[in-house]
Structure 1
């Protein structure tokens, strides 16, 4: 008997349901088997890794035991201001402390460009009072091409005096190190420098660079420019008292109507600098902190000189002399405290060697009978330093230091 339509549909439904159940069972078995295989493989890999580590640790422990050494403890966690082992003499530094701010790195190294340095050095506190006990220092700024042959004389000059009263800065050929002992006031006192050529604006650059580096130390109050051929002709106490007690700076500035004075003026400096304002003077200056900060901050007039004071115009003889005459004449004595002999003529002063150094000669530099003004009084002490002296002058100068120069 033939099946009805309903019976056929029911039979087809039952078959489909059975097939689906079978498919589910098979899928479950496949997933289960794959999971078991993955688990076995992973377990075997972990066992091999742990076994290798166990062998390694066993080797280390056996080696340590045989060499009678103990396994070092694990390193401690890093702390703030942690210094890697490769850094020598690493110290924790509070960059915002007054001590760090007032006295920069003792070896004078820094990565500032000249523009950054001049900007930093020209910052002037608005408060006149100091929040600490300030002892004014004299900064001795040496500009040299290489060695300092008269350094033993200067070391004797500084000997026995508190380094809180003075500081030394040396501008030298980039990369050159002054051969000074660790106890010398010249030890590691080279500033970041640039090449310098005689008669060009690079001399002024070097002067401003020395001033700027010295201005970073807020205790520096007076700044004297010197060379490798300069000597002191008075002892340190006399020099210190003379400079720190002065109301004025010592920058030679005079009007020379001849071709070596006004003859070097360029009309291209107009309208910034007029001919009647033009001045000439010795390169070897001494500045108060006020004027040092002003000259380091100047951009306008320095730019004029760098563009238009070209050979035979020498910026180091005219820039500061003219600038201070224009704006700060009331703060300047218009004379230098460094003796130089120009009687021989020519572009360079006389050079004195060992055969020239006598007691009478040194005494004549110290006091030749002429008087000069110091503050509101007249004095016979006009020259504190002298140049130019050759390396051969060192020994006779050392012999006269105690009896004539009193140091």
Structure 2
């Protein structure tokens, strides 16, 4: 009711401003005009003045009538109006890319302290290759530096934690297209993965970091997440927001909307809640006390979004992470508890207590529902975007002190065979491709 009243008040204010426009035009044109030749010039002056005044006022009102709280509408383009993107040079056309590849068939030489990994896969990467302890130390020091430098725009670091390859990469490439200066991609894959590199034109070209084996439900999941954060902190000081994704993630909005939503947010998007029962409090290990008390134990989705300061705190953590590494074993599932507990203890006011990734847990069990090709429809995608639907009403969530229907920016778990449907529907539903 409050939102409706505010909208009605805004509409009434808009009407009150617009009504006088015709009156001003009429008044300016009200001088009586007969049309003998000797009076034509005298009549033309007020007519021209009135016409120009009317056009100027109308243009001003149209430009100023864009609602400042347009984020509540959930429209993909509204965030661009509220939070305009930094200006960037246009991306090179495909022909220029092909020419560059022909002129430089080999990758540039790696800087000091770097190594080439997954060379058998053709995915040569230039990242620091040191032990995890040293990597975290270096990343913590890098995080303390000021974001950006030299007027560079802030960037979003997309951290992909994958088992093997990225079947949705063609969709993500469409999503990233044209915005190369506003993002970075980092991929943690199985070290045994030997797939081919996607090529220079792809956002995933040579973006695999030095990776280690990851096992589901074990502390190695958190180790991989911290490894991704560390490399992103070291790689580019313009990385301001850090987003964890999987190989089954898909974007629900175009890049400008996602970028504006994250860069301008005053909160970070991590779930952190107290859950009674075996899958919540029941996973707590008594050996964690007194560093982590039972009352401090929290749960949440592992698919986080952090700012640079909190990412730095995570990689610098030498108090809580060692306790999790030692005690959170055998049905503890550290990836669902470490970050929610750590942030709840250290930075509770910074957490939005929600994720920007939608997932369906309604059927129960240890894994969420998976979606196949035929389940991907325009109506389903619009519902995920907060645009309502035939089965469920639109919900709202908090954003920077207000409310918005844009609650989820991404969704998972979609099987590889759904890619063709996403490529087909993305242009008319998600606004890219």
> Following TM superposition, by how much is the alpha carbon of 1:128 offset from its aligned partner in structure 2, in angstroms?
4.9
Relative to structure 1, the CA distance from residue 379 to residue 174 in structure 2 (aligned partners, 3 Å threshold; closer, same or farther) is same
Partner deviation per Cα, 1:211-259 (whole Å, 9 max, x = no partner):
0000011010001100110000000000000000001110000110111
Q: Is the 8 A contact 1:178 1:186 kept in 2?
A: no
The counterpart of 2:268, out of the listed 249, 269, 282, is 249
Q: Which residue in 2 is equivalent to 1:141? A: 159
Partner of 2:184: 167
Question: Bigger shift: 116-125 or 179-188?
Answer: 116-125
Q: Give the secondary structure class of the aligned counterpart of 1:146.
A: coil
Which residue matches 2:331?
A: 312
SS at the partner of 2:337?
Answer: helix
SS of alignment partner, residue 237 of structure 1: helix
Give the deviation of 1:310 after TM superposition: 1.3
Match of 2:343 among 299, 324, 335: 324
Tell me, yes or no, if structure 1 residue 281 matches structure 2 residue 281. Answer: no
Q: What is the rounded CA distance, in whole Å, between the counterparts of 1:197 and 1:190 in structure 2?
A: 18
Gaps of 5+ in 2: 1-105, 114-123, 389-393
What residue in structure 2 maps to residue 385 of structure 1? Answer: 410
**TM superposition shift of 1:174:** 1.1
> Which sections of structure 1, spanning at least 5 residues, go unmatched?
1-87, 96-105
Partner residue of 2:401 out of 366, 369, 376? 376
C-alpha separation in 2, matches of 1:129 and 1:142: 22
| d(CA) in 2 for partners of 1:370, 1:237 | 22
**TM-aligned CA deviation for residue 92 of structure 1:** 10
Q: How many angstroms apart in 2 are the aligned matches of 1:362 and 1:214?
A: 30
Q: 1:266 aligns with which of 285, 308, 329?
A: 285
- Give RMSD over aligned pairs: 2.0
Output one character per residue of 1:140-166: Cα deviation in whole Å (capped at 9) or x when no partner: 0001111111111001101122x1100
Q: Secondary structure at the match of 1:378?
A: strand
- SS of the equivalent of 2:258 reads helix
Show the 5 A alignment for 1:107-118. Answer: 107-118=125-136
CA 1:400 to 1:114, structure 2 compared with 1: closer, same or farther past 3 Å?
same
Equivalent of 2:422 in 376, 383, 397? 397
* Distance in 1, Cα, partners of 2:185 & 2:371: 25
Q: TM-score, normalised by structure 2?
A: 0.68
**Which position in structure 1 is the counterpart of 2:211?**
193
Cα separation, 2, equivalents of 1:156 and 1:178: 19
Partner Cα distance (1:207, 1:376) in 2: 29
Q: Post-superposition shift, 1:344?
A: 1.3
2:175/2:254 contact within 8 Å kept: yes
CA shift, 1:125, in A, is 6.8
**Higher alpha-carbon deviation: 117-126 or 133-142:** 117-126
How many residues are matched? 309
Map of 2:68 onto structure 1: none
Q: Kindly indicate whether the alpha-carbon contact (under 8 Å) linking 2:385 and 2:406 is maintained by their aligned counterparts in 1.
A: yes
